[in-house]
Structure 1
Amino acid sequence: MSRNKLYCHVAVSLFFSAASQSQAEPLKICYDQWAPMTMFPSEASPARGVVIDMVDEIYTSKGYQTEYFEVPLARGLDMVAEGLCDMLPEYLFSKNSENDFVYATEPTFAYTTAFVVRRDDSWRYSGIESVEGRRVATGPGWDYSSMSVEYQNYLDDPKHSSFVEVIAGDDDVVDRALRMIRDHRVDTYVDNDLVLQYALNRLGLEEDLRIVRPGLEKKLVERPIFSKKIPAAKRQKLIRIWNEGRLALKGIQEKSLLDKYDVRFEE
C-alpha cells in the first residue's frame, strides 16, 4: 500500500470511528464512593470499581457512551429523581423505596456482611445480645434494617446512644471507623465483607484488625435504579440490558472482576 493510500485509509477509518462514537447513545450514570464496588478515579488510580466496571462493560457493548458523575449518594439519588442521571448502579433494595426511580430485577450483588474488631479481640456476633456494652461505629442515617431489624433497633434506641458512634462525612466513614477501632475509640464496625477486605488491605491495618464472620443475619441486596424522568421505553430497554448483561457476567467473568481488586466472597 502506498503512503498516500495508507493516509487515506487511516483518515477514512478515523472518520468512521468518530462517526460511530458520535452516534453512540449517551448514558448518564451517577454514583458514590464505596470502594471497591464503586470508586472515584484519581491521577494515582483510574479504577472505578467492580460495579462500575460491570456497568461499563454491559452498556458499552450495546453501543452506549457512558458518562459518569461522582457525587455523594444523597445527591446521586436526587439527580436520578430529577432526570439529570439515567441511572445509579447500586442502591439498597427496598419495596418501599421505589418513588422517583425503578429498580432493575438483577442485583449488582447480594453481599454478605462482616464485623471488624482488633486482632486481640475474641468477640463474635451471635445476635443482638452480643452487641450489648460494645462501642459500635456507624454512619449518619445509615439503615441496617434490611439485614437485621434488631441491629437497627439497637442503634436507634436512645438508651444505647453512649455506645453508638455516628461518624459524620460522605466519603471516609469506613476508613475512620477502622482507625477508631485500632485506636480503641470504638470496638467494632459492620459493613459489606468485600468493602472491609479492601479497606484493611489499602490502609495496611491487617496486623492491627481482623474481619470476623458471620455478620448480620441477612445479606445486603443492592440493585441499579433508573430514573422515572426518562421515557418508559428507554428505561425498560436499559433495565433489560442490565438484567441480561449481569446474568451473563456470573461465574468466571465475575470472579475476574473481583480478582482485579483483590477481594473475594468467603465461603
Structure 2
Amino acid sequence: MMPKVLSLILFLFVATGPVKGNQVILSADLWCPYTCEPSADDKGILVDAIDSILQQSGHQLDYQLVNWARAIKMTRSGKYDGIVGAYISDAPDFVFHTEPIQISKMCFFVKKDDPWKYFGKDTLKDRKISVVNAYSYGEYFDDYIVKNHNQGDKSIVQISGMDITKTRVEQLKSNQIDTVLEDWRVFPYNVATYKKNSDSQWEAEFKSVGCLPGEGLFIALSPNRDTSKDYAEIINRGLKQLADSGKLNEIVSRYE
C-alpha cells in the first residue's frame, strides 16, 4: 500500500501541475533607445534584453512606462519588482545584478554653431544646463547638480514629464537653456524621432562637446521584495548567456 504522505504529494503534484513562472513587473520612463514604448515592436535595448533573459528562465515581463521619480518611489515601496536602466547611484539601496547590461555616457549637447566645449566643471560657468528630475548623472556630477540647482541664474534647469526631448528642444529654441546633458545614444535618437514627427520648421543641428565618465545601466530590483536576490541571480546567468551567444549585440544593432 502507498504511504499516505507520498499519496498526498502525488495528488498535489497532479492537481496543481508544474509551478508557473512569475510575472515580473518592471518600470521605466521613456528613454529610447534603452527603454521605449511598451506597445512598440522594439521596446528598447534594455527591455528586449531583460525580456529575453526572463523568458529563458520561465518568467514573463510586465513592462510599464511611468515617470522616473515615480518609478523609483513605487519600486522602493515594493509595488514594482524593479526599474529598467538605472545607475547604481539612482537607487543605491536597491538590489543589483553584478554586470551592467550596457554602459551609458552622459554627454553635453549644444547647438551646432555654439563654440563652447566641456573640459571639466570649471568650464560650466554661465551655462544653463538641462537635466531630468530624479535622474542620477553619476556621483561626479550629482554633487554639482545639488549645489547649483536654482542657484543664481539657474545654471541647472531640472525638467520632468514623459516627453522630455520635445521640452528640451523647445527650451533650446527659446534660449531658456543652452546645454542638454543626456546619454550619448538617447539625445540624438530622440531628436531624430522628434524632427521626423514634428510639424516644426526648426532645423537646428546638435553636437556633443564632451562627456562625463561612463556608468553601467542595470535592472535595479526592489529592496522590499523577497524575490529580488533571486531575480538578480537570474539576470547574472542570463546576461552572460545573452552576451556569449551574440544575441545581446543583435539587440543593440537593431537600434543603431
Question: For residues 212 and 135 of structure 1, what CA distance do their matches in structure 2 show?
Answer: 16
Q: Which residue of 1 aligns with 2:236?
A: 243
The alignment of Structure 1 onto Structure 2 pairs a total of residues equal to: 234
Question: For residues 189 and 95 of structure 1, what CA distance do their matches in structure 2 show?
Answer: 19
> Secondary structure in 1 aligned to 2:60?
strand
Q: How does 1:47-196 map to 2 (within 5 A)?
A: 47-94=42-89, 97-98=92-93, 101-148=94-141, 151-152=144-145, 155-156=148-149, 158-161=151-154, 163-167=155-159, 169-196=160-187
TM-score, normalised to structure 1, is 0.75
Question: For residues 201 and 135 of structure 1, what CA distance do their matches in structure 2 show?
Answer: 23
Question: For residues 126 and 235 of structure 1, what CA distance do their matches in structure 2 show?
Answer: 40
> Secondary structure in 1 aligned to 2:109?
strand
- Contact 2:165–2:194 at 8 Å: present in 1 too? no
Question: For residues 28 and 145 of structure 1, what CA distance do their matches in structure 2 show?
Answer: 26
* Shift in Å, 1:102: 1.4
* Shift in Å, 1:223: 1.9
Q: Bigger shift: 52-61 or 150-159?
A: 150-159
Question: For residues 191 and 90 of structure 2, what CA distance do their matches in structure 1 show?
Answer: 33
- Contact 1:116–1:209 at 8 Å: present in 2 too? no
Task: Kindly indicate whether residue 248 of structure 2 is the aligned counterpart of residue 254 of structure 1.
Answer: yes
Q: Give 1:75's aligned amino acid.
A: R
> Secondary structure in 1 aligned to 2:89?
coil
> Secondary structure in 1 aligned to 2:73?
helix
* Shift in Å, 1:160: 4.1
* Shift in Å, 1:127: 1.4
> Secondary structure in 2 aligned to 1:250?
helix
Question: For residues 228 and 114 of structure 1, what CA distance do their matches in structure 2 show?
Answer: 30
Unaligned runs of 5+ residues in structure 2 are 1-16, 197-201
Task: Kindly indicate whether residue 211 of structure 2 is the aligned counterpart of residue 215 of structure 1.
Answer: yes
Q: Which residue of 1 aligns with 2:199?
A: none
* Shift in Å, 1:208: 1.5
Unaligned runs of 5+ residues in structure 1 are 1-18, 263-267
* Shift in Å, 1:157: 6.9
Change (3 A) 1:134 1:76: closer
Q: Bigger shift: 234-243 or 176-185?
A: 176-185
- Contact 1:145–1:151 at 8 Å: present in 2 too? no
Task: Kindly indicate whether residue 34 of structure 2 is the aligned counterpart of residue 37 of structure 1.
Answer: yes
Q: Which residue of 2 aligns with 1:11?
A: none
* Shift in Å, 1:153: 5.4
- Contact 2:165–2:191 at 8 Å: present in 1 too? no
The percentage of counterpart residues that share the same residue type is 21
- Contact 1:40–1:48 at 8 Å: present in 2 too? yes
Question: For residues 244 and 198 of structure 1, what CA distance do their matches in structure 2 show?
Answer: 30
TM-score, normalised to structure 2, is 0.78
